[in-house]
Chains A and B, each alone.
Chain A
Amino acid sequence: MKKLNLRYASTLVILATAFVALIFVNQASDQGLETESVRKSENVFGISAMPSVAGDSQSSTSWFCPGVPGLEKTVSSEIVVSNSTDIPITGKVTFLLSDKPAAVAQLIVQPFTRGVIDATGGRKSKFISAVVELDNGAAAVEQRIIHPAGDSISLCANKPSDRWFFADGFTGADSLFNVLLSNPFPDATVVDISFVTADGKREPASLKGIIIEPERIYSLSMGDQGARNESVLAVSVRATSGRFVAGKLQHFLGRGRLGYSTSLGAASTSRQWWFAGGRKDPDTDEQLVVFNPTEQDQSVSVAFLTGVAEEIFREPLVLTIPAGRVTTLATSKLPAVTDGRYGVVVSSITNDFVTSDEDSAVEFVVVEQVISRREDKKTGTTTTFGAPVGAPSRTWTVASGVPAAGGTLVILNATSLATTLKVSTIGPAGSVAIEGFEKIELGAAAVLEIKIPIASADLPILIEADNEVVVQREVNRGHELIGVSSVLALPHRSSGIAAVAGK
């Protein structure tokens, strides 16, 4: 070969450098692509499973409350809108009625206050649900029913879904179990309902193709649908067309359960479910109800988090839930679980090696916690959905506050690292740490119960932690009834989402 001249050699060097750069840019970006992919899938699937506070990331939010009874004279209900910002929040509430056109009301919530409005909007209808649209992302909304059988708080959804699940239903002793389906859209939604009892899955033809009229709420008493006197009753509602919001109203009338409980359904199954409010004592009867709505058997492990490292997973409990069935785990009867507070995490171990991207195509389980407290032959029962995977967050808001008398916050550290907490109330002066709660240490996987001072009662509460936690609150059921109504607080969307959920 002829001797290369300097110019040609330089050209070859430049070309080689460009070629190497080409390969490098391509490969370096591939790595970034993977990280991005994980982040995106977390955003898409992680948070959608549970209502949350958007924070500054959104300039407006919408809340879809599950519904309240509108004709019962002894029952009242309210929508609580918490404004933790220093500007007024305006919005409107659309009331969806059972048999009448929707009605609209305007709403203004002053800075650092709670706005409380009648959840029926003054309308008369068998059931009424509300859609609250606000011009600020930092607002939080909850629904509260004041019922003679016990007050109950439930979360409101951020968005409708095409499927909703309820793991725990109960119609024993003629207990009432109403499923409320709200359609806030301008066209009809068609849903199929199936339910699972102790005998197995049932899909009555009468529950196929149920049409929910545009901007209406539809109620369904499961007892009337052939699920009478069932101690096990899980419900699955799937839309064949459109989307909707589903909630449940339960009035327990016997067979070990008493009281009134409402809750928003689970908009998806999840690989994990976190519960902060586990408790074992002689007066408490706790159950974990695991519903497998999928077509394949699911195995789950149940771990009890007490904060003592040796005890964590000391007795890993593995349950197998057959396809389309419900398994109830009576935790109170487990000898290995020590008395006191603990957290619970239920994890699916089926498809354990499925990557996060593929989770979107996989369904897992739905888990509810049922706690009945007994005292002097009186019983108070509450049901609570856990926090699905992705929900543990560093910041949580309790929109409607925790009544000083009989109300507590239960905080579970969902990580394996110790964390520091700050609990503040949001009052006229903005966010102010509660005295004594400016800096609380919480060990890894430990649970902390906090009694809120009287001075801070009824104020929205903000919980900030260094690591991901799960916050649940237990409030007095009122009317001098025993037991508590348990409900999750609202996580903040921008404050850390750890994992991925399925549909």
Chain B
Amino acid sequence: MVVHQPGAWFDEVLAGLASQDYPNLNSVFFLTAKLTSSGVDTTDANAVATKISEVLPNAVVRIVEGNPGFGRLINELQRIVDGDKCLFCIMHDDVVLQTDTVRKLVEELFISNAAVVGPKLMQWDKPTLLQSVGFGIDRCGEIDPFIEQNERDQEQHDAVRDVFFVSSACMLVRSDLFRELNGFSQDISFFGEDLDFCWRAHLSGARVLVSPTAVARHIDSFETRSPNLISRASAARNRARTVATLTSRWRLPFVWLQMLLTSAIETVLGVFTGTFRESLASFRATVALVLDASYIWQRRRQVRPLRRVAASEIAKLQVKGSARLTRFIRHRRALASREIASLVQTKKRWRQSSTRTAGTVLLAVTILILVGSREIITDSSRVIGEMLPFENGSVSTSSVFTNFLSGWWSSGFGEASANPTGLGLIALASYFLFGNLALLQTLMIVGSLFVGLIGMWRLCGAFANTRVRLGAAVVYAALPLSYDAIARGRFSALICIAAAPWLFDILNRFQDGKDQSLVRKTQLVSGLLLILGLVFAFTPSIAILFLAITGLWVFASFLGGVSATKLFSVLLVGLTGLIGSLFINLPWSMHFVSSSWWHLLAGDQGVTDRKIGLISLARLDFGNTRGGFLVVAIYFCVFCALVVADGWRRLWAIRSSVLVVFGLLLVVLDDRGRLPFALPEPAVMLAIVACGLALAVATCLSVFAETNLTRASDWRRSLSLLVPLAIAMMIAPTLLSVTDGRWNQPETLVPQLLEQLPDNPKEGNYRTLYIGERDLLPVATNSVNSEISYGVADDGAVNFSSNWAPQETSMNLVAQRALKSLIADDTVRVGRLISPLAIRFIVVPLGDLPSSAALSLVESLSNQLDLRRTYFARNLVIFEDVTWLPIISVLDEVSSVASQQVSDFSLTSQELKSQSALLIDKNSVADKKVRAKFAGGTVHVAVPFDSRWRLIVDDAQLAPRVAFGSSTAFDAPIAGILSLQYQTSPLRYFYLVVQAIVWLCLIMLAANFSRFRRRMRQVESNDVAVLFDAVRQDQKIDMAKR
């Protein structure tokens, strides 16, 4: 018997053993001892040993270090007991035998010539109810208990019969067989050792049967006795491994497929039947068999000598069809014949099934999100703000990857710099989707909603209550912040909102984890780095958001009484995350090493002072959603949490209120231009407030769900009624938005209108300048002032790569200066000022409600003497600069001379003219595929100057010079076939390789692949460390001599 921290019942167990009428009985006890930081604590074990000695003076007692597992301890019998002419009655420490149980088992073993015999197990408290009469299994290892739950014993199962296995709670085994089979599997600590053993017994030709006349009572309360060891996953894993090890090789592939299919179906059905977790564990175990391949192969080799019975014979012992289905049918029949009371109990169980509730609600939320996003899924997102098409024009996976590898960042005006990591990630992800970039975009947009939902679910795991987690996750998903981001095309905000709960979760896990191993800490930090790095690759403003998140988290935890040491470690982790996210985005992140690094990170280039107002910000929808004012009701939960929370929940109440109040304060200060620095756009920063609100809801629900509020005088009862009302009010506007199908993305014709601009015209490639309110511009922007921003894109349809652009090039400075003059009405020749920048069209999107600044901008543009009005509409204005130079052109003589000067006056005083355009194709300037005939002259390339540009005329390579103080020119006095190329530094490729390795390492660390390695190598220690025999040192039982 293995004894582990027994309860009061143990006296009865010992009495049962002592009362056995079988004459030749010796007892061996293995007592587990606690492992503490100072060593092994045997105090309790010694007390138990003394108790055993008092009842069974001849018993052999072994105290062992810790609890290495039932099977492993029982296997020690082989060492303690000499000789093969005996029987082992293996028992749990919570089984009481009747006086004749052992005798009857022995009799039946001899009568039936069996090798393993089990008794009829009855329930401990209700000895009239059956617990086990042996078990059958189907081919997939699914167990059929033969009896219904709580089935009354009416002797209906009292016939001796062959079963597939009997419970290890009490089983009689022939010692010779036990030795031959090498006992229980060393790899199974708990759960499933009996199945594995009996199956091997069958393979060796032994009989396993149940003898119902032998009766024992069993508590079977493993969950309450060893909560730390409960694991559905390990039970499922052991079962799957047993099936994979012991099934014949020809049947194994089919069995595995059958297991995979049935477990997958059961997982889906489990959402509704309340068995989701079990089914999911089963599914994961089945999938993980792939990782266990080497282990299984090794085990099969060990088992091979035992295979004496044909596989077909074993199959006959197994339940035909599905054991689960059989069980289900039996259960339905039992239900039909039971009384109403039973049904009531079932209904109660049904209601209490938290997984079922969670599954159903999450499924409903999923369906609502999918229905609300249906038009985005079927027809892609509209081209709004940053939501530019991934698949547009000449963009393909390979072209994206080629651009990523290049040393020339070709967006905007271009720059000799590393391309954004995001480009590489998109290229990589699209490879997994077979190059379907559009699908990738849809997945990223709609998937972000689910990522945020799951992140909040994980974060609220700290409340250890499924309904609380569910409430918070649903609230987070229902807040209008994400949907407003979709409606306004704020992609960067969307992914920040999705990432925020995950960041909080990691900080919380790092702070609250007790005695975490270095591996666990490394895993958390790696996860943090990966999340931050991934989001940073798309929106650098996550760095500032995370800074605020860390600061507020530490501040709130400090107020909540968390120790300074822990807070310091969280701060350290936060800093590591920040620096690490920059590091893993190298070399691109060098772009942020600049005097205006903060503005570059903020992503808004200093746009503050938006004057949105507190109410619109607090609604989290900027005033855009129908009935959005109802969202404000959810702030009641913040107040409520502060009032009702006590104990450990008070910390969460403080955290949620600090996140909400200080988060809003930060956003409002920025909104009013009261901060000395710029923050990312409000939608990004409001992710903090959204998390705070969801945590406040979680705190309230936790209090109400887990605190007894039955007393009528409890003032919290009234608040508990208001919280659901507040949640319902908050959800209502989002529910209304579901009907739209694309979360109220505006009907906009702007992209279609932009299609009228020519692609690769014979006059030469050109750029388009987008200028106006930042949110309306479909490209990466630089701010001209607090209200007007601008960005540029090459001719052709805009695509997602326009979301990233270098912002501090010399050409940006020229553009910025010209546009400032324009807005100040300082010039009527802005066309000439931007002429060397190859800007042909100036596009001003106005939106539905243009600001006075935007209208004033149009006014100023209308007064420009070099701009031709191409298109004038209510929501879009397009001008054409008649003085534009193509991106690659041959300058006339006068312009060539002018190109050597740096002065606005030289630009405005004369019109620049090109003789002809060169190298016209759809590719970016650094990737020109075409060649052109050239008659000599000054070739002007409208890109910022860099010495790695080469103009090749026939075989002659020409070095560039600076033109107009910012762009590039080649003085080429020779005629010939001309091509242009940018020579990427080999170091660039080296950096990319290093970057890839770093990412791979982080993924391995975050995924903790060591657990897979353990699975594969089975490195778990199989040793049992016996400390000493409390009664008789080194006593052995010599059955051979008896």
Interface residues of A (CB under 8 A from B): 1-2, 7-8, 10-12, 14-15, 18-19, 21-23, 25-26, 28-30, 33, 40-41, 44, 57-60, 62, 90, 92, 106, 131, 133, 135, 137, 158-160, 162, 184-187, 241-243
CB pair B826–A60 under 8 Å, yes or no, is yes
Provide the residues of chain B in CB contact with A15, threshold 8 Å: 642, 657-658, 661
Q: How far is the CA of A137 from the CA of B825 in the complex (A)?
A: 11
Q: How far is the CA of A241 from the CA of B650 in the complex (A)?
A: 66
Q: Is B829 an interface residue (CB 8 A)?
A: yes
Given contacts A22-B665, A26-B668, A186-B865, contact A133 B824 (CB under 8 A): no
Per the bound structure, the CA–CA distance linking A92 and B910 in Å amounts to 10
A58, A60, A187: residue with the most chain B Cβ atoms closer than 10 Å: A60
> Is the pair A26, B826 in contact by a Cβ cutoff of 8 Å?
no
Task: Report how far A11 CA is from B715 CA in the complex, Å.
Answer: 23
Q: Is there contact, CB below 8 Å, between A21 and B665?
A: yes
Question: Residue B828 at the A interface, CB < 8 A?
Answer: yes
What is the total number of residues of chain B having a CB less than 8 Å from a CB of chain A?
A: 44
- The answer to the question of B905 belonging to the interface, with a C-beta cut-off of 8 Å to chain A, is yes
| Chain A CB within 8 A of B672 CB | yes
Given contacts A2-B646, A19-B661, A40-B852, is CB(A25)–CB(B825) below 8 Å? no
Interface membership of B664, Cβ < 8 A: yes
- The answer on a CB contact under 8 Å between B674 and A7 is no
Smallest CB–CB gap between B613 and chain A, Å?
Answer: 7
A29 to B673, CA, bound (A): 9
Q: Are A25 and B672 in contact (CB under 8 A)?
A: yes
**B865/A184 in contact, CB under 8 A:** yes
16 additional A-B pairs beyond A15-B642, A106-B909, beta carbons within 8 Å, are A2-B646, A10-B559, A12-B642, A14-B559, A19-B661, A25-B668, A26-B613, A26-B614, A30-B613, A41-B852, A58-B825, A59-B821, A60-B826, A62-B865, A159-B863, A160-B863
Closest Cβ neighbor of A159 among chain B residues: B863
Evaluate whether A242 and B869 lie within 8 angstroms (CB atoms) in the complex, with A8-B650, A60-B827 already known: yes
Contact flags (1/0) for B814-852 with A, using CB distance below 8 Å?
000000010011111100000000000000000000001
Q: Counting CB contacts under 8 A, is B867 at the interface?
A: yes
A residues within 8 A CB of B611? 29, 33
State whether A187 touches B862 (Cβ < 8 A).
no
Contacts of B248 in A (CB 8 A): none
Does B354 belong to the interface (CB within 8 Å)? no
Looking at the assembled complex, report how far the CB atom of B877 sits from the nearest CB atom of chain A, in whole angstroms: 12
Evaluate contact between A29 and B674: CB separation under 8 angstroms. Answer: yes
State the CA gap A23–B827 with chains docked (Å).
Answer: 42
Closest chain A residue to B638, Cβ basis: A15
Are the C-beta atoms of A243 and B658 separated by less than 8 Å?
Answer: no
| Beta-carbon contact of A186 and B868 below 8 Å | yes
Partner of B674, one of A25, A41, A131: A25
Q: Is B264 an interface residue (CB 8 A)?
A: no
Q: Given contacts A33-B611, A184-B865, are A159 and B825 in contact (CB under 8 A)?
A: yes
CB distance from B814 to the nearest CB of A (A): 15
B401 at the interface (CB under 8 A from A): no
Interface string of B855-896 (1 = CB under 8 A from A): 010000011011111001000000000100000000000000
Kindly report which residue of chain B lies nearest to residue A23, judged by CB atoms: B614
Q: Which 7 A-B pairs have the closest CB atoms?
A: A29-B672, A26-B614, A11-B559, A187-B868, A62-B828, A186-B882, A58-B826
Q: Please name 28 pairs of A and B residues whose Cβ atoms are closer than 8 Å in the assembled complex, sorted by A.
A: A1-B715, A7-B559, A11-B654, A15-B642, A15-B658, A15-B661, A18-B662, A22-B664, A25-B665, A26-B614, A29-B671, A30-B613, A33-B611, A44-B856, A59-B821, A60-B908, A133-B829, A133-B908, A135-B905, A159-B863, A160-B862, A160-B863, A162-B862, A186-B882, A187-B869, A241-B869, A242-B869, A243-B862
Of B560, B613, B829, B862, which is within 8 A of A11 by CB? B560
Question: Which A residue's beta carbon lies closest to that of B853?
Answer: A40
Complex-state Cα separation, A135 to B559, whole angstroms = 60
Output the nearest chain A residue to B664 by Cβ-Cβ distance.
Answer: A22
| Chain B, Cβ-Cβ closest to A7 | B561
* B467: min CB distance to chain A, Å: 25
Answer whether residue B255 sits at the interface, using C-beta atoms and an 8 A cutoff: no
**Contacting residues, chain A, for B668 (C-beta < 8 A):** 22, 25-26
Best-buried of A19, A22, A137, A162 by chain B (most CB within 10 Å): A22
Residues of A within 8 A of B865 (CB): 62, 131, 184-186
Residue of A nearest to B662 (CB): A18
Contacting A at CB under 8 A, from B631-690, are 642, 646, 650, 654, 657-658, 661-662, 664-665, 668-669, 671-674
CA of A41 to CA of B855, assembled, Å: 12
Cβ of A14: which chain B residues have Cβ within 8 Å of it?
A: 559
Contact A57–B642 (Cβ < 8 Å): no
A133: contacting residue among B665, B828, B856, CB under 8 A: B828
Chain B residues lying within 8 Å of A10, measured Cβ to Cβ, are 559
Distance of B545 from chain A, by nearest CB (Å): 19
Which chain A residues border B658 with CB–CB below 8 Å? 15
- Across the interface, which residues of B come within 8 angstroms of A33, CB to CB? 611
Nearest CB on B from A37, distance (A): 9
**Residues of chain A within 8 A of B829, CB atoms compared:** 133
Least CB distance from B588 to A in Å reads 36
B852 near A44 with CB under 8 A, answer: yes
Residue of B nearest to A32 (CB): B672
Residues in A with CB closer than 8 Å to B613 are 26, 30
Q: How far is the CB of A160 from chain B (nearest CB, A)?
A: 6
Q: Which residue of A lies closest to B911 (CB)?
A: A104
Shortest CB distance A19–B (Å):
5
A110 to chain B, nearest CB (A): 17
Contact residue among B657, B826, B828, B909 (Cβ-Cβ distance under 8 Å from A59): B826
CB atoms of B614 and A22 under 8 A apart: yes
List the B side residues contacting A160 at CB < 8 Å.
862-863
Residues of chain A contacted by B664 (CB below 8 angstroms)? 22
Q: Please, which residues of chain A bring their CB within 8 A of the CB of B826?
A: 58-60, 137
Chain A residue nearest to B611 (CB atoms) is A33
Chain A residues contacting B821 (CB-CB under 8 Å) are: 59-60
Nearest B-chain residue to A92, judged by Cβ: B909
Kindly state the separation between the CA atoms of A57 and B654 in the bound complex, as whole angstroms.
Answer: 51
Nearest chain-B residue to A17 (Cβ)?
B661
